[in-house]
Amino acid sequence: MRSLFRPTLVLAFATALLLGTTPLVAQDAAVYRTPDPAVVKVVDAAPTPGVSLSPDETRMLLIQYPSYPPITELAERELKLAGLRIKPAVDGRSRTSGATELRIMTVAGAASVDVSGLPGSPSIENIRWSPDGNHVSFTHATSDALELWVLDVNAARARRLTDRRLSLTAGNAPTWLDSRTLAAAFVPEGREAEPLAPSVPAGPVIEESAGREAPARTYQDLLQSPFDESLFDYYLTVQLARIGLDGDVTPLADPGIAWDFSPSPDGRYLLVEWVHRPYSYQVPGNRFPQRVEILDRDGALVHLVADLPLQEEIPMAFGSVATGPRSFNWRADAPATLVWAEAQDGGDARNEADVRDKVFVLDAPFDGAAEELATLGLRYAGLQWGDADLALVYESWWKTRQLRVWRLTPGDTSAEPILMIERSYEDRYSDPGSPDTRTNEFGRGVIRRTADGSSILLIGQGASPEGDRPFLDRYDLATGETTRLFRSEAPWFESPVSVLGEQGTSLLTRRESPEDPPNYFVRNLDSGELTQVTDFPHPAPQLKDIRKELVRYQRADGVDLTGTLYLPPGWEPEDGPLPVLMWAYPTEYKSADAAGQVTDSPYRFVRASAWSAYLWTLVGYAVLDDPSLPIIGEGDVEPNDTYIEQLVSGAQAAVDEMVRRGVGDRHRMAIGGHSYGAFMTANLLAHSDMFAAGIARSGAYNRTLTPFGFQAEERTYWEAPEIYYAMSPFMHADKVDEPILLIHGEMDNNSGTFPMQSRRYFAALKGLGATARLVVLPYESHGYRSRESLLHMLWEQQEWLDRYVKNATPEEPTAMRANLQLESDS
């Protein structure tokens, strides 16, 4: 409970001197700060290159990304329209990260070759292989345009394909129609100047409810005025076109707002989802009215698929969908077959129904009647295509966490489906894996069969009580029996990437250990022989000596829990207990068994990032990363009905385990988290006295501001007001008697975590006499991007942890120091 003790300012400074520190005050945030140099060095380390495999699986494109961008990049002009964030200078999305280097190497392991001809200071995104693997398309961002480039793989040389400016405001990257032609969205030629904001509004902004339910979660960056609508029209309107490798551009249809477009596998048609008015100020652009059309290669209309209305009235229950056709796609193994789903239950997950969805197909030239491919008792969750005799359709249901996978015969829609898998998708231990795929002649991924055609291959994470152990299995299509071909073995974490070649005797894997960064290997499945392909160095060798351990313990009610423990280099138990940082994120479950499953591996590489909690081992802390904090609601019971009790119990078990091991000092433990983890942190400080301090980043603290559900909560505020109240840290701010550091991005666009959440929570804490510090990072969103912001975030966390955790002692209760510090901050 909050202390009523109110020392004077003199006593506050006296205590600060005794602690050997100076008070943190708001003025400290006037400039960006940096944490300990050891931490900075890790943050600035270049990341390990990304890898993209060619369609024929013989070559690899190595993609080098930079570290974190400067704050000047985030400070550039940005528009927030209909749920999108747009960089108007280039007609593209803002807050993206471009690669700076490309290299090509063979899977056989030859030395990599640098790609020549790249632009100066490249910023490369949207990388796509042509179906034949001879070219790679990509976009390059200059200061005022997005350009279309192509890489000749055999010559290892890149060139700009056209001087026409791309438009990627809707996020649609150029895509291959065939191996010599692309489809792309360009800025319309002759476009006029951007609309100017009116100096005087023409009238008020008016919205009206028609008396029908239209619940909406707390979306951000929505349209707010007629002027926003005009900007949306201006920047989202594009000219679709096809472009050959010779640079010749052929317009397709009239300019319009192409929300999405995709070519048929044979390249003869283009499926386009055009957005049109009326717009909404309540939902993002993906729920605006859409006219779905199929165009031919010259842009002529071939078939009107659907004209869908504004989707403001989708019920809020998880599993609810729009009525009418949805989830449009192409059949990957056929030249031109359109696929879509339609709800049979009114789209409302609350309705009782034996049939939830149906899946339909329509072959080119799209002038016949659609055929019914599948009838589903749960909600449609996607398709994987193989051939005329094999496709897999997925269906799932949120309320029960149920998943079913049915085997279909696409060439005979009258054939009965075969149930292949039925399980709870929460149950990681029962996951049989997903089919390995190959690239077909259309450049599309299809299910790979074994050489004799009798089986498919399944790749999975291999979750088990001993941790994740990735595997490759053969699944016999006739009997349903599986044969294990490979399983990762300690002390390595080795993940199958793809089976190589028609015979399937070689496997490309990604292999790592706590000390060794991920690299690619070819494994002979018959002999087990390994051939190393890449040789990426450790990005931060100073982390090699950090000790990692997967720890297991139990909650008071018997639920099994796990966490990943990181210990400073050289620490031994005889050195005495350490200050501990626990960094966590609660998860809801419908099954206690699933909640107790292990979700990590002790053999994974320790990846370095500004977001890595284990960085604090470099400055003397033990870190318990991602300790299990399950919130369980079995049967008809909702998890959140006992959220606080389960949260506190899980945290208490983690604290007790750290003390039992001799790792942690019970008086020097901190709790922290981001987003829902911040919400967790504030609740633990309000409802327990286990922690000396807390760090809460980009959280939501008042659930009445998210009245139509949050996280996994389906009930509205009006259906469960007591739950919303009990779970809101804001309502219990008077109980917080430990120091709490609040950090928030000034431009957070995540649903529910608008910056006001932290501002109002801080105001409540300050008004009630708690020790709290609020840091608002300029230009940052829900996840912070700039180097300056990330280093300052780490500095704030280090200062807070050192002051209130590392230097805490049993003789000086944290609550008293908290109140002393408050007076100095005031």
Quote the CA–CA distance of 584 and 690 in Å, as a whole number. 15
**Helix, strand or coil, per DSSP, at residue 182:** strand
List the one residue out of 485, 414, 415 whose CA is nearest residue 455.
485
Quote the CA–CA distance of 292 and 294 in Å, as a whole number. 7
Quote the CA–CA distance of 147 and 522 in Å, as a whole number. 36
Do 515 and 544 form a contact (C-beta atoms < 8 A)?
Answer: yes
Pairing of strands 301-308, 290-296: antiparallel
List the one residue out of 734, 676, 724 whose CA is nearest residue 700.
676
Q: Which of 675, 698, 781, 786 is catalytic?
A: 675
Residue 507's H or E segment, with its range, is: strand 506-512
**Helix, strand or coil, per DSSP, at residue 300:** coil
For the question of residue 758 being annotated catalytic, the response is no
Do 805 and 581 form a contact (C-beta atoms < 8 A)?
Answer: yes
Pairing of strands 664-674, 693-697: parallel
Do 703 and 721 form a contact (C-beta atoms < 8 A)?
Answer: no
For the question of residue 675 being annotated catalytic, the response is yes
For the question of residue 782 being annotated catalytic, the response is yes
Q: Residue 192 is which amino acid?
A: E
CA distances from 195 to 198, 229, 278, 347, 634 (A): 9, 10, 19, 38, 54
Burial class (CB in 10 A: 0-12, 13-18, 19+), 42: buried
Q: Which of 221, 345, 626, 748 is catalytic?
A: 748
Quote the CA–CA distance of 340 and 342 in Å, as a whole number. 7
Quote the CA–CA distance of 198 and 773 in Å, as a whole number. 40
Q: Which of 140, 744, 782, 792 is catalytic?
A: 782
Quote the CA–CA distance of 440 and 747 in Å, as a whole number. 43
Buried b vs exposed e over 689-704: b needs ≥16 C-beta within 10 Å? ebbbbbbbbbbbbbbe
List the one residue out of 675, 657, 679 whose CA is nearest residue 666.
657
Buried b vs exposed e over 749-778: b needs ≥16 C-beta within 10 Å? bebbbbbebbeebbebbbeebbbbbbbbbe
Question: Which sign does the torsion angle of CA 603, 605, 611, 615 carry?
Answer: positive
Do 803 and 21 form a contact (C-beta atoms < 8 A)?
Answer: yes
Residues with Cβ within 8 Å of 339's Cβ and at least 6 positions away in sequence, in order, are 328, 329, 330, 331, 359, 360, 361, 373, 383
Quote the CA–CA distance of 608 and 531 in Å, as a whole number. 26
Residue 672's H or E segment, with its range, is: strand 664-674
Question: What are 249's two structure tokens?
Answer: 């551009």
Max CA separation in the chain (angstroms): 86
Do 488 and 501 form a contact (C-beta atoms < 8 A)?
Answer: no
What number of other Cβ atoms are within 10 A of residue 300's Cβ? 9
Buried b vs exposed e over 491-504: b needs ≥16 C-beta within 10 Å? ebbbbbbbbbeeeb
Burial class (CB in 10 A: 0-12, 13-18, 19+), 389: middle
Please identify every residue annotated as catalytic.
675, 748, 782
